[in-house]
Every structure is written in C-alpha cells, then in structure tokens.
C-alpha cells in the first residue's frame, strides 16, 4: 500500500457577522480545541446537511 497525501482545497470568502456571534464562535471553538475557521466549516456542513428542503 502506498502513502497518499490528501489535500483540501480552500478559498477565501469574506462574511460580515454580528460581533456577538463572532464571540460565541470563538468561545465554542476554543472549548472544542479547534480553530474558529474549522468550527465554522463544521457548523456550516452540519446546517446544510440538516436543512429542511421544504423551506
């Protein structure tokens, strides 16, 4: 078996969010020992996967 390096491609996007939400994200990310970026990625994936398609 060969060692294969997987690389995730990222792009930069800018979003404006309320300060209180940014602070909540930072706290939750710190509690989970992940970066705010990783926390937001996982939260967005969860939200999109669980989005009610009828809305």
Residue 31: pLDDT band by 50, 70, 90 thresholds? very high
Give the per-residue pLDDT at 41.
95
Mean pLDDT across the stretch 29-55? 91
Burial of 11 (0-12, 13-18, 19+ CB in 10 A): exposed
Q: What gap in Å lies between CA 50 and CA 53, rounded to an integer?
A: 9
Largest Cα–Cα distance of the chain, in whole Å? 48
| Residues 6+ positions from 51 with CB-CB distance below 8 Å | none
Please determine, for residue 38, whether its predicted confidence score (pLDDT) is greater than 70.
yes
| Nearest in space to 37 (alpha carbons), one of 45, 6, 50 | 45
Whole-structure pTM value = 0.77
**pLDDT reading at 27 higher than 70:** yes
**How would residue 12 be classed by pLDDT, with cut points 50, 70 and 90?**
very high
- What is the distance between the alpha carbons of residues 55 and 53, in angstroms, rounded to a whole number? 6
């Amino acid at each position: 078996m060969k060692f294969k390096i997987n690389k995730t491609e990222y792009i930069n996007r800018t979003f404006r969010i309320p300060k209180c939400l940014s602070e909540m994200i930072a706290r939750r990310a710190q509690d989970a020992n992940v970066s705010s970026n990783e926390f937001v990625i996982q939260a967005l994936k969860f939200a999109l996967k669980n989005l009610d398609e009828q809305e």
